[in-house]
Amino acid sequence: MPICRTGSLALCLLALAAGHPAGALQPARGGAASPIANLPHRLVEWPVPPTSAAGVPSPWNFIQVSSVAVTSRGTVLVLHRGAHPVLEFNRDGTLVRSWGDGLFSEGKVAGIAEKYWTPDKSHYSAVYGPAGCASCGAHSVRVDPQGNIWLVDAPGHVIYKLNADGKEVMRLGRKGVSGTGPDTFNLPTDVAFAPGGELYVTDGYGSARVVKYSRDGKYLLQWGKRGKGPGEFGLPHNLVVDAQGRVSSPIATTSASRCSTRTASSCRSGRPPTASPASS
Amino acid sequence: MTKDQRIWTGGVLRNLDGTPVGRLNAQGTTGAHGVAVTDSGEVYLAQLSGIVQKFVPQ
């Protein structure tokens, strides 16, 4: 399934997550596939490589770069699954600082072998201890309109809100505690911000729901469950909110993306996702 | 989400209905795990392969 179906953001994004060349072709509405135009963007070398002890440039040792975000100061946060998991660079590529050691869990999200699959359960879990790895919980970094930094630790089942200086000011979920309640997650994947300040969380690998919170972290509502029916998700992996407050999740269909931010009821009318879980 | 209300999905830019508008012209961009865009249109792609790609509008 290397192509995206017309009107289905879900399939397109799922294919991306699965590493398929989803951007290569796009079927015209009801017709044959047509190529997508190249954008007038130029790839540049970035960031500036570090200098080795020999005084010469050396490559960065990023371990799985999972996310990137632009701060309110105009710097760029790079989130990777290794030592110093959060690295902040100027836009010219020079390193500003690094931080985050010990913040993320050492669990590793992993696919469940097919012979253990059941129709109603997630195909993902997490391994911890020796089977895990340092900072492998690092899944997403976002910056809200007020300049706060949000970090999603998927296998840690927790989302941190930090101020622009990196000090924790709030957290959603309970670190190391999985669940599907109003204050627990099961391998969450992303967080997004509505124009009115409310928060949305995709939860995620273990659950299959979107949860809405007030700006101060009070649970408001949720929708979605695992499946392929109306209002159901395969793997809600990322999340964006547009200027009108409509929520789009990569595994949701475009109908689901039009769900109201005010109530959950309209979200149940979303067309069924036709995708299956992807990786990473 | 861009300032003009489009969505980057990996290296592919889409309208809110999912229709592709264009794509970044470099190998491997469609499989990016994370994306960020600046107000001036620079695009950063996070790759699980261990690199960050930066694209600047021409």
- Candidates A66, A68, A190, A205: best to mutate against B (most CBs of B within 10 A) is A68
Would you state the pLDDT for residue A177?
Answer: 97
Size of interface A-B (CB pairs under 8 A): 160
Residue B49: list chain A partners with CB under 8 A. Answer: 64-65
Please state, rounded to an integer, the average pLDDT across all residues of chain B. Answer: 92
What residue has token string 């109603």? A120
Put simply, whether the predicted model's pTM sits higher than 0.80 gets the answer: yes
Query: Distance between CA A228 and CA A230 in Å, rounded?
Result: 7
Would you state the pLDDT for residue A250?
Answer: 59
Query: Distance between CA A149 and CA A163 in Å, rounded?
Result: 6
Query: Distance between CA A16 and CA A31 in Å, rounded?
Result: 22
Q: Which residues pair with A170 in a beta bridge?
A: A161
Of chain A, the percentage scoring pLDDT greater than 90 comes to: 66
Contact B10 A16 (CB under 8 A): yes
Contact B48 A66 (CB under 8 A): yes
Contact B34 A9 (CB under 8 A): no
Rg of the Cα atoms in chain A: 19
Would you state the pLDDT for residue A51?
Answer: 95
Nearest CA in chain A to B7: A240
Query: Distance between CA A83 and CA A178 in Å, rounded?
Result: 25
Nearest to A42 among B29, B52, B56 (CB): B56
Nearest C-alpha of chain B: how many angstroms from A16? 5
Question: Which has the minimum average pLDDT: A101-105, A189-193, A233-237, A257-261?
Answer: A257-261
| Average pLDDT over every residue of A113-117 | 95
CB-based burial label for A44 (10 Å; 0-12, 13-18, 19+): exposed
Query: Does A271 have pLDDT greater than 70?
Result: no
Stretch 1-58 of chain B: residues touching chain A, C-beta under 8 Å: 1, 5, 7, 9-14, 16-26, 29-38, 41-58
Would you state the pLDDT for residue A33?
Answer: 57
Strands A65-70 and A76-80: antiparallel
**What's the one-letter identity of residue B53?**
Q
Contact B20 A36 (CB under 8 A): yes
Q: Does A43 touch chain B (CB under 8 A)?
A: yes
Would you state the pLDDT for residue A251?
Answer: 52
The vertex-A44 CA angle with A239 and B23, nearest 5°, equals 45
Of chain A, the percentage scoring pLDDT greater than 70 comes to: 77
